[in-house]
A and B are shown apart, each in its own frame.
Chain A
C-alpha cells in the first residue's frame, strides 16, 4: 500500500528522522502561502499514487506567485482517475552531498536489507547504472536492529566523524521504523547533507505490506487511512471493494489482492504464487480472465462461498475456473464446499458453472468426493497448471 509522501513524512517526523521543511497544501492559494512562509525557491510535489506521477510531476518554483500557478496546474493532474491529494510544498536545501537509502526484503536471503548510495535516486535504478556506488547490509526481522549495522553501512559509504554518527542515527531510526510498521519498501531517494553538517531527508517513498494493514490499523488511523483505502494505482471498483470487504469481515484465510478485468472467465485461484501463474496460463491459452482473486491461507467455507458468489455475479461471467498450485495449509475440501455452496445459493447447478476444479493437496480425497457428488471432475496434480488453464479456456468457448 503506497503512502502519499506527506504521510510517510508524518511518520518519519514522529520518529525524529530529520526532514526538510515542508507542508501540505490543498489549494493553490495555500501553496502560495506555504511557499511564502518557507521563503526562497520551493519544490511542489503532487501527492499521487499512480506510478511515476508524483516524481515526474514535481516542480521547482522561485517564489509564491510561481507556487500558486504551478500548484493550480498540478492539482488538475490525473492520478489514475483521481486528483492528487494535495501538493507538498518543500524547501529546497542546498547541500554538500546527497545520499540515498533503501529498505526492502531480499527474496534470495529471505531477510530485510538496507542499501545505500552516495548518489541520489532510486537504489534499483542506481543498481543498473552505478552498481559500484551501492553498499548493502542485511539485518534480522526477528531481532532488534543494532546500530552497528547502520554504522558499518555508513562507514562503507566513506563517512567518518560526525557524519558517521549522524548517518548511523538516521539509518537505525529508519530500519526500526521499517520493521515496526511492516513496510515492504522504504526508499529515501534523496538524503541531503546540509552546509552545517546535518542531514535531512528530502524525498521518501513508502509502501506498507498490504497484509499488515489489519495489524497496523492504529498507525493507519493516525494517518487518516480509511478501511476501504487500499491505495491501488487506480480507484478500486465496486467489485474490488466488495472483495476487500469479504476479506476484512472474516479473518480465516485471505482473498488478496483482488482485481477486476473485463474478461468472461471468473477465477477462484491461489496458492503460493499459483494465482499469478494461473492467470498468465489462462491468458496464454487465449482466455480472458474476468478477475484476479488470490484465495489462500486456509479460507473458511464461508469465505470461499462469498468469493464464488461475488465472481459469478459479475456481469459477463458465466463460469468460473477454480484452480491452485498444490496446497498445504489451505484445504481443498473446504474450498470445494464453499464454491459449490455459493453456486447453489445463486440458483445454479455446480456442474454448469465450474469450468475446472484443480486444487491438489491437503484433503484432496474429500474434495474429490464432494465434487463427484455434484458431477464435477476433480483434477489432481497430474493435471499441470498449464493444462488446467487450457481446459478451462476450451470449455469457456
Chain B
C-alpha cells in the first residue's frame, strides 16, 4: 500500500477523450497506470504509486482526470 502518494483517477473524464488512457500509460515514467478492462480507462498500479516522481506528466495530460496527492503534506 502506498504511504507517501495517492493517485486519484476519474475514468468518467478519461473515457471522454480518445486514447487518453493509452497516453497516461505511456507518459508515466514509473508505470503507475495500466489499461483497465473496460475501454479507454486506466487502473492505478498500487505497488508503483510510491515511486511517483511528481513529474506532472499525467496531470498535464488530463488535469481533471488525474489527481496526485502528497500524503506527507
Residues of A within 8 A of B (CB): 300-302, 331, 334, 337, 340-341, 344, 366, 369-370, 372-373
CB–CB A302/B51 < 8 A: yes
15 contacts across the A-B interface (CB closer than 8 A): A300-B51, A301-B50, A301-B51, A302-B51, A331-B53, A334-B53, A337-B3, A341-B3, A341-B4, A344-B3, A366-B72, A369-B70, A369-B73, A370-B4, A372-B72
Residues of B within 8 A of A (CB): 3-4, 30, 50-51, 53-54, 70, 72-73
Rounded to whole Å, the gap between the CB of B73 and the closest CB of chain A is 6
Rounded to whole Å, the gap between the CB of A381 and the closest CB of chain B is 21
Interface of B is mostly: loop
In the assembly, what is the distance between CA of A331 and CA of B52, in Å?
A: 12
In the assembly, what is the distance between CA of A340 and CA of B53, in Å?
A: 17
In the assembly, what is the distance between CA of A319 and CA of B10, in Å?
A: 42
CB–CB B72/A369 < 8 A: yes
Interface of A is mostly: helix
CB–CB A337/B73 < 8 A: no
Rounded to whole Å, the gap between the CB of A365 and the closest CB of chain B is 10
CB neighbours (8 Å) of B4 from chain A are 301, 337, 341, 370
CB neighbours (8 Å) of B30 from chain A are 300
In the assembly, what is the distance between CA of A337 and CA of B3, in Å?
A: 8
In the assembly, what is the distance between CA of A341 and CA of B70, in Å?
A: 15
CB–CB A340/B3 < 8 A: yes
In the assembly, what is the distance between CA of A369 and CA of B51, in Å?
A: 17
Summed over the interface, the residue pairs from A and B with CB atoms below 8 Å come to a total of 27
Residue of B nearest to A370 (CB): B72
CB neighbours (8 Å) of A300 from chain B are 30, 51
CB neighbours (8 Å) of A341 from chain B are 3-4, 50
Residue of A nearest to B4 (CB): A337
In the assembly, what is the distance between CA of A300 and CA of B73, in Å?
A: 21
Q: Which 8 A-B pairs have the closest CB atoms?
A: A370-B72, A373-B72, A337-B4, A369-B72, A301-B51, A301-B50, A337-B50, A300-B51
Rounded to whole Å, the gap between the CB of B45 and the closest CB of chain A is 13
Q: Most chain-B CB neighbours within 10 Å: which of A331, A337, A341?
A: A337
In the assembly, what is the distance between CA of A301 and CA of B53, in Å?
A: 10
CB neighbours (8 Å) of A370 from chain B are 4, 72
Taking A301-B4, A301-B50 as given, write out 17 further A-B residue pairs in contact, using a Cβ cutoff of 8 Å, ordered by the A residue number: A300-B30, A300-B51, A301-B51, A331-B53, A334-B51, A337-B3, A337-B4, A337-B50, A340-B3, A341-B50, A344-B3, A366-B70, A366-B72, A369-B72, A369-B73, A370-B4, A372-B72
Residue of B nearest to A302 (CB): B51
CB neighbours (8 Å) of B70 from chain A are 366, 369
CB neighbours (8 Å) of B3 from chain A are 337, 340-341, 344
Residue of B nearest to A371 (CB): B72
In the assembly, what is the distance between CA of A395 and CA of B33, in Å?
A: 42
CB neighbours (8 Å) of A334 from chain B are 51, 53
CB neighbours (8 Å) of A373 from chain B are 72
CB neighbours (8 Å) of A302 from chain B are 51
In the assembly, what is the distance between CA of A340 and CA of B3, in Å?
A: 9
Rounded to whole Å, the gap between the CB of B6 and the closest CB of chain A is 13
In the assembly, what is the distance between CA of A344 and CA of B4, in Å?
A: 13
CB neighbours (8 Å) of B53 from chain A are 331, 334
Residue of A nearest to B30 (CB): A300
Rounded to whole Å, the gap between the CB of B47 and the closest CB of chain A is 9
In the assembly, what is the distance between CA of A334 and CA of B53, in Å?
A: 8
CB neighbours (8 Å) of A331 from chain B are 53
Q: Most chain-A CB neighbours within 10 Å: which of B30, B53, B54, B72?
A: B72
